[in-house]
Amino acid sequence: MKFWFLIITLILGGTAIAVLSDANDIEPYRKYSSEKHDMRIINSGMASLYARVDMIRRAKKTIDLESYIFNTDKSGKIILKELAAAAKRGVKVRVLVDKFFGVFKLDEYYAQELKKHNVDVRYYNASSIFQFSTFQSRNHRKLMVADGKEAITGGRNIADEYFDLSKDYNFLDRDATIQGEIVQTMSDSFEKFWDSPLTQIPGEVEPPSKNSHIGESYNDHQYRMELRRHEDKVKDASLALAPDEEHDKILEFAMKEGKEMFLSNGKYECPEVAFASDKEGAGFLERLKPKKYDKNYRHLRREIMNWMEAKAKTDEEMIFDTPYFLNNSVSDKISQLLTERRSKISVMTNSLASSDAIPVATVFRDTIRKFTPFKNFKAFIFKGKYPKETKLMDEEMEHATWGTHSKSVVFNNDSFMVGSFNLDNRSSFYNTELSIFCSGSEALTNDVKNNIKSRMDNSHGLDSEGEVEDECEDFHQKGLGPLKKALYWLLKVPSHLMQSLL
Cβ–Cβ < 8 Å for 471, 483: no
Q: How far apart are CA 100 and CA 97, in angstroms?
A: 9
- Number of neighbours of residue 18 by Cβ within 10 angstroms: 12
Nearest-10 Cα torsion for 197, 158, 279, 312 = 180
Give pTM, 2 decimals.
0.92
Cβ–Cβ < 8 Å for 162, 406: no
Identify the pLDDT of residue 133: 61
Sheet hosting strand 92-98, strand order edge to edge: 199-200, 119-124, 92-98, 62-67, 143-146, 150-154, 175-179, 37-42, 268-270
Secondary structure letter of residue 162 according to DSSP: G
Please, which residues bridge with residue 146 across strands? Answer: 63, 150
- Number of neighbours of residue 453 by Cβ within 10 angstroms: 16
Please, which residues bridge with residue 377 across strands? Answer: 345
Give me the tens of pLDDT residue by residue for the chain, a chain 502 residues long. 433 333 333 333 433 444 477 877 899 999 999 999 999 999 999 999 999 999 999 999 999 999 999 999 999 999 999 999 999 999 999 999 999 988 999 999 999 999 999 999 999 999 876 566 677 889 999 999 999 999 999 999 999 999 999 999 999 999 999 999 999 999 999 999 999 999 999 999 988 887 654 555 667 888 889 899 999 999 999 999 999 999 999 999 999 999 999 999 999 999 999 999 999 998 778 888 888 999 999 999 999 999 999 999 888 999 999 999 999 899 999 999 999 988 999 999 999 999 988 899 899 989 999 999 999 999 999 999 999 998 999 989 999 999 999 999 999 999 999 999 999 999 999 999 999 999 999 999 999 999 999 999 999 999 999 988 866 445 445 567 788 888 888 888 888 888 888 8
- E-state strands within 68-211: 92-98, 119-124, 143-146, 150-154, 169-172, 175-179, 199-200
Cβ–Cβ < 8 Å for 346, 380: yes
Identify the pLDDT of residue 250: 97
For CA atoms 208, 211, 215, 221, the dihedral sign is positive
Identify the pLDDT of residue 477: 53
Cβ–Cβ < 8 Å for 303, 435: yes
Identify the pLDDT of residue 11: 35
In this structure, are strands 344-350 and 317-321 parallel, antiparallel, or unpaired?
parallel
> 62: closest CA among 145, 147, 120?
147
User: Domains of the chain, with CATH numbers?
Assistant: 26-262 (3.30.870.10), 272-501 (3.30.870.10)
All residues at 6 or more sequence positions from 283 whose CB lies less than 8 Å from its CB, including other chains: 127, 131, 133, 134, 137, 198
Q: What is the DSSP string of 347-374?
A: EEEE-TTT-S-HHHHHHHHHHHTTTTTS
- Torsion-angle region of residue 461: left (phi > 0), alpha (psi -120 to 50) or beta? beta
Cβ–Cβ < 8 Å for 465, 472: no
All residues at 6 or more sequence positions from 385 whose CB lies less than 8 Å from its CB, including other chains: 402, 458
Q: How far apart are CA 53 and CA 61, in angstroms?
A: 15
